[in-house]
Structure 1
Amino acid sequence: MCTLTAWCRPSGRRCRPGVILCLDRVKENIQKDSGPLVPLHWIGFGYAALVASGEIIGYVKTGSVPSLATGRLFGGLAGLGAYQLSQDPRNIWVFLVTSGSLAGIMGMRFYHSGKFMPAGLIASASLLMVAKLGISALGKPHQ
């Protein structure tokens, strides 16, 4: 950042009075720092939204407060895991534990009830997410 007395470039040119940012310096930094960006983990955010909305729908239909609480908890953890994957593709643990736990819990509920909605849907989506995370973790070498 340039202040009123800071140099914009090594060439010795000063910023004009009233200029807070030196656009030449910003342009140089953008060109220098533009490396490969990690895309947002859209599948993970979609999974988090599915988990949160499924539990909210369960609360509306049955009035179950524990369903609402667990939906918010697991939806928030899945969202956090998706965000962490967006920042660093090697950081899979929160997302893996969340989706693995949901796969187990909802899989047992589906097994005992035999109803696909919502337990079977969430268990299936969780199993797919665990498989995707496992494949991506095994497919890329860790540094």
Structure 2
Amino acid sequence: MTLDIISFAYAATIAVGGIIGYVKAGSVPSLAMGLASGVLMGFGAYQTSNDPKNVVVSLAVTGVLTVVMGARFYNSGKFMPAGLVATLSLLMLLRCGYRLM
């Protein structure tokens, strides 16, 4: 079993982003969704570590984050944090799609 370090790093980034959103702005939804998305992505990273073709959970999490954060970036025009998360999520989405091939 080789660890999917990229996916674990992405999961940690999302979770830490939720914590930072809570600390800086007092946003409970940021905390809840950041931690939930980070945990789900961590589970997806664990699955892809065991079987590189098992990307269903990772694909779902990155797809939802790409759409949600992409819409937030489009509406606000602010790159931080929505644009950054949308960009990272899109890259992870493409990576998951590549792993399916």
- TM-score interval (norm. to shorter): over 0.9
For 1:45 and 1:53, how far apart are their aligned partners in 2?
Answer: 12
Partner residue in 1 for 2:98: 135
Q: Which has the higher contact order (CA 8 A, sep 6+)?
A: 2
Q: Secondary structure at the match of 2:87?
A: helix
Q: Secondary structure at the match of 1:79?
A: helix
> What TM-score do you get using the length of structure 2 for normalisation?
0.97
Partner residue in 2 for 1:57: 20
Larger radius of gyration: 1
Equivalences, count: 101
Name which of 82, 105, 108 aligns with 2:45: 82
Structure 1 gaps, min length 5: 1-37, 139-143
Partner residue in 2 for 1:118: 81
Q: Which has the higher helix share?
A: 2
Name which of 18, 24, 32 aligns with 1:69: 32
Superposition misfits of 4+ residues, deviation over 6 angstroms = none
Structure 2 gaps, min length 5: none
CA RMSD in angstroms comes to 0.7
Deviations 1:95-123 (A, max 9, x none): 00001100000000000001111111110
Deviations 1:35-70 (A, max 9, x none): xxx310000000001101111111111101111000
State the percentage of identical aligned residues.
56
> What TM-score do you get using the length of structure 1 for normalisation?
0.69
